[in-house]
Chain A
């Protein structure tokens, strides 16, 4: 009887240990939260398009033939193995739009790494950090002069040597950085979840000024005519003096500003997730017109064919002109759109959430081609 009891207790203890061990092992390969997929935009240089696919690959496309310039470059991260787990690696989500120079393509991964890829061959030149990983990177890289800048969820803005990937300086904010920096002259601008917009000296990362809002900042600032324009989660679009960060004006919408504002002919176009595009006079913030888009807008608009092209989350693409107060429907891609738009030569490139790249004529709205990025 006593022996039976001991055996049953040992079995129970073993069961508890198995449950705990398997529970510990599984989270690494089967996260309970959603799976990050990414929403990389497109970089255009010469006749080539570069973007990150939702399979975690850098894709280089010849835009005249829609063929690949070189085989897709996959980015993988280690997947911990354990009880009930499949061993191996998993694709890296890519949210940032690649930055391209004459030699290299820079791309950030949600695995906390920045990759520099040879633009001609697709070979990896260097990776930062070489060992380990930073916290997830959501924003894209920006190259200016001999430096490449990017922010990470660890709240740090990094400035690296663009040629070698050596770290030149860092700037620590108070919370996550999800935005892409903007560089103008001798200053780099970055928003943080700590509700501040920072202006830093490009030379050494020292603080020029900072401006505190009431909400987190994700969107990339726009620098135009001596003013820095950016939106915040407190629902305001701010216009700050570029020299000292003093407030020129602010404008309130009904929900967050997530995307990068655009400027055309002295008018700021600020898209909000409240489903509207607010066209405001750059000099004083006076409302020119508010376009009702009937769906949230998180994708950054782009200028093309003398208009501002906007894609809403539901998949509809519009051409806006505040001067003539016209909103023209271009095409409905019938797929969600979160990635920032890119345009060149009157053609708009749209990366939709089903991992398809669309080329749309900015005037007629005709879909010139659609390319599934998913590899066979």
Chain B
């Protein structure tokens, strides 16, 4: 039942569209995959934009999260409560970052199934293709099996020349690097460095196991992602050198909320100054050194530093 629904609404439409588009593009399946990628990224664009804004807002909340961790590090429950409160008040949904990727997961699976069917990889899979073809579209019957050659690739098998795994990993690394904040906390810095490498390496590894057609989708998808990030987050982000890093303003949607949260947190810091006082004092001193000590005692210093160097996210030096 689930399989039939999957075939009806996802797999069969994708197969037929890929075949027809390929027919219009000189029977070139590689170009057909590129067009499919652009269509999918176009459809999921609203989600991607939401994700990017959310990511950006999360980055701006990062210093506050660090403070919370320091403050409630031993009380996990309280820490979780405070984090949730902060997310809620600032209108940020951490799970929202994953949504565009989750939405694309069925596309990856369907694309993989489409590739092994339309390229006649093995007889069993190719025979199953007949059940997916739209009888009302006569041209699809004449076009299959599609030509698997594209540039140096055989789209039905992994790229033996390693170019695609490198491209997939490389473009993913670049894309992630653009949105990875420079965390002030060394522990966080290490974590984000790890995340920066784990996903690209994982995808590079997977690319070596799966048909090149799927990897082609990932490369194009990553390039589109980078383009969207450039325009939405305002520049190359983490890719730009520190001197050249453009200060990117906060997204309007989150600006008011984050400012409110900052204000609340500052008040909160003043009324509960006894909690984690040593940490707060440390930062307050640092801030005074940098800014003349005009800000609220607990969170504001590092946030101000973020505002002045939003892309660098650098902590002020301790005096």
A residues adjacent to B (C-beta < 8 A): 12, 15-16, 19-20, 22-24, 26-27, 30, 32-37, 39, 95, 138, 176, 178, 193, 195, 214-216, 233-235, 254-256, 258, 273-274, 296, 298, 338
Contact = CB atoms under 8 A, between A and B. Distances in A.
B121 interface: yes
B165 A20 contact: yes
| Dominant secondary structure of chain A at its interface with chain B | loop
A37 B124 contact: yes
Contacts of A24: 162, 208
Interface residues on B, range: 20 to 34
B123 A138 contact: yes
Contacts of B209: 23, 26-27, 30, 32
B123 A95 contact: yes
B130 A256 contact: yes
A33 B135 contact: no
Nearest to B139: A214
Contacts of A26: 208-209
Contacts of B162: 20, 24
B122 A338 contact: no
A254 B134 CA distance: 10
A258 B165 contact: no
Interface string B194-208: 000100010011011
A12 B197 contact: yes
A6 B141 CA distance: 58
Given A20-B165, A296-B131, A36 B141 contact: no
B142 interface: yes
B135 A19 contact: no
Interface of B: 112, 116, 120-125, 127, 130-131, 133, 135, 138, 141-142, 144-145, 156-158, 162, 165, 197, 201, 204-205, 207-211
A338 to B, nearest CB: 7
A33 B197 contact: no
Given A26-B208, A255-B133, A215 B116 contact: no
Contacts, number: 90
Contacts of A33: 116, 121-122, 125, 156, 211
9 contacts: A12-B197, A23-B205, A27-B208, A33-B211, A35-B122, A193-B145, A234-B141, A258-B130, A274-B135
Given A24-B208, A36-B122, A233-B141, 5 more contacts: A15-B197, A23-B208, A32-B209, A34-B116, A215-B142
A273 B135 contact: no
A348 B229 CA distance: 65
B124 A32 contact: no
A41 to B, nearest CB: 14
Nearest to A36: B122
Contacts of A138: 123
A36 B204 CA distance: 26
Contacts of A39: 123
A15 B142 CA distance: 47
B141 A20 contact: no
Given A15-B201, A16-B201, A255-B135, A216 B127 contact: no
Contacts of A22: 205
A23 B165 contact: yes
A235 B125 CA distance: 19
A255 B130 contact: yes
Nearest to B127: A298
Nearest to A15: B201
Nearest to A138: B123
Contacts of B138: 235
A19 B173 CA distance: 15
Contact of B141 (A193, A215, A258): A215
B273 to A, nearest CB: 35
B317 to A, nearest CB: 17
B144 A233 contact: yes
Given A27-B208, A27-B209, A33-B116, A258 B127 contact: yes
B135 A36 contact: no
Nearest to B115: A33
Contacts of B201: 15-16, 19
A36 B123 contact: yes
A36, A214, A233: most-surrounded residue (chain B CB, <10 A)? A233
B27 to A, nearest CB: 12
A37 B124 CA distance: 8
Contacts of A296: 130-131
Nearest to B135: A254
B259 to A, nearest CB: 38
A290 B163 CA distance: 52
Given A12-B197, A234-B142, A298-B127, A19 B204 contact: yes
B124 A36 contact: yes
Contact of B123 (A19, A178, A193): A178
Contacts of B131: 273, 296
Nearest to A25: B208
Contacts of A274: 135
Give the 5 A-B residue pairs with the shortest CB-CB distance, closest first: A23-B208, A273-B130, A214-B142, A36-B122, A32-B210
Contacts of B142: 195, 214-215, 233-234
A34 B124 contact: yes
Nearest to B198: A15
Given A32-B211, A34-B116, A254-B135, A20 B127 contact: no
Nearest to B142: A214
